[in-house]
Amino acid sequence: MPPSFAVTGGRPLKGTIRPAGNKNAALPILAATLLAEGPCRIDNVPHIRDVETMLALLAHLGAAVEWAGPNSVVVDTRRAEPRELDPALCARIRASILLAGPMLARFGRVSLPPPGGDVIGRRRVDTPFLALEQLGAEVTVGATYQLEAKGLVGNDIFLDEPSVTATENALMAAALARGTTTLRNAACEPHVQDLARFLADLGAGVRGIGTNTLTVEGGGPLRAAGCTVGPDHIEVGSFIGLAAVTNGAVTIDGVRAEDLRSILLGFERLGVRPRLDGTRLIVDAGQERRIRPDLGGHVPKLEDGPWPAFPADLMSIAIVAASQCEGLLLVFEKLFESRLFFVDKLIGMGARIVLCDPHRAVIAGPSALHGGVVESPDIRAGMAMLLAALAAQGDSVIHNVGQIERGYEQIDERLRALGAQIERRDDGR
């Protein structure tokens, strides 16, 4: 049976924890090694299932892949070939689509089976392919996505939405395309910035990093380069929520302050106010945990959006945190129509939540949570259920924790170091 976590909650967590490398940066950076004319060493790579799958896809293409340390991997793609991607591997992760841009740029053709990933609603693939078409690709949609290009040429591209995967695919393809590419309405999340910096280190001329207009001077050979993946700001947000719901005192060591502005603003609305001290973020015990109403006493709203707005991947965490805070909060999750369906599990544990529609929920707190037997439906909802179990009185069992482990490295061991009572059971009990 799939593994599960057995959790006994109700204990404040205390201590210091380091965020892992950002998986959403590591995955496109690993895909981008296909563009390099030599081995690339990538450091601070989270050793998680999604990364293992991406490395398996690169190895399937003929790349040499070697772990040089617990979180360092060397990838040499000089012998890679334009093989059809393994459908079973592609079905495991949505990030398989990130191979479209670099494979097209290097080989001139791609056969891409439908990508997998979290089931959180419809996730468009139109925008990445529309962007690649504007660089000169011909796209055929059938049982697989077929892309061909005799030669990519830079272009002025306006994305129909600030899609992360479209921006990353277009950046990687533009790095080898002839001439100048300008990407407008581009995504600018921290992981997109990390990829852009890596492409610049390979030799591509990338300007506008951190903005929604990126310019790439491509066409030249790209050398080998090393890279250190930045800290995962979603993990940082998860640990802020973890400290808040357990009323613990947790120091998160190794953060990048510029990645946290919208996250800290969102938690401040819940009455949770961590302190920044250089690269350390300190969440003191005894947080106010009182939801700040809007002017006039109106019910406040926490909504997500493209960067630099509050990240969609932290909405599940914010809902659990709000359930332990005094007051009313409306959350508005705009991006995925199934992201909030996990709240029925929280309601079963005692949370007072009204799911208004697939995108909005009202949370009334604080609620005394009790242990329960729940399922991990996706990475972020699974982590939210783990937070709820640690905040609850009594015992909980979380099934299907392989979903959590796709995005959070050795999370049970790291939380035990903070005093959590959590046990991983491989028999699924």
The predicted-structure confidence for 184-200, as pLDDT tens digits, reads as follows: 999 999 999 999 999 99
- Asked whether residue 266 falls in the same domain as residue 359, the answer is yes
| pLDDT for position 334 | 86
**Do 74 and 202 belong to one domain?**
yes
d(CA 217, CA 280): 36
pLDDT tens readout for residues 31-45: 999 999 999 999 999
Same domain flag for 47 and 189: yes
- Together in a domain, 173 and 305: no
294 and 238: one domain?
yes
In this prediction, residue 116 carries a pLDDT of 67
Q: Are residues 71 and 153 part of one domain? A: yes
> Within this chain, do residues 134 and 80 fall inside the same structural domain, yes or no?
yes
The number of distinct structural domains making up the chain is 2
Residues of the chain with confidence (pLDDT) below 70: 116-124, 336, 428-429
| 95-112: pLDDT as tens digits | 899 999 999 999 999 998
**C-alpha span between 246 and 228 (Å, rounded):** 32
Last residue of a domain, one of 211, 228, 245: 228
82 and 214 together in one domain: yes
Looking at 181, 199, 228, the residue that finishes a domain is: 228
The pair phi, psi for residue 263, each rounded to 5°, is -65, -50
Q: How far is residue 117's CA from residue 164's CA, in Å, rounded to a whole number? A: 15
Residues 270, 213 within the same domain: no
**What integer pLDDT is reported at residue 122 of this predicted model?**
44
CATH value at residue 129: 3.65.10.10
**End of a domain among 228, 250, 265?**
228
Q: Beta partners for 306?
A: none
360 and 410 belong to one structural domain: yes
Two tokens at 251? 């120091």
| Residue 2, preceding peptide bond in cis (omega within 30° of 0) | no
CB 238 within 8 A of CB 263: no
- 410 and 330 in a single domain? The answer is yes
Q: 317 lies in which domain range?
A: 4-20+231-425
pTM: 0.94
Do both 274 and 410 map to the same domain? Answer: yes
Look up 253 and say whether it is catalytic. Answer: no
Q: Which residues contact 177 (CB under 8 A, 6 or more apart)?
A: 105, 135, 136, 152, 153, 154, 216, 218, 219
Helix axes 233-246, 315-323, angle to 10 degrees: 10
Q: What separation in angstroms does the CA of 82 have from each of 242, 326, 333, 342?
A: 44, 56, 39, 40
- By residue count, the chain amounts to 429
Sign of torsion, CA 22 125 342 317?
positive
Of 118, 232, 259, 313, which residue is the catalytic one?
Answer: 118
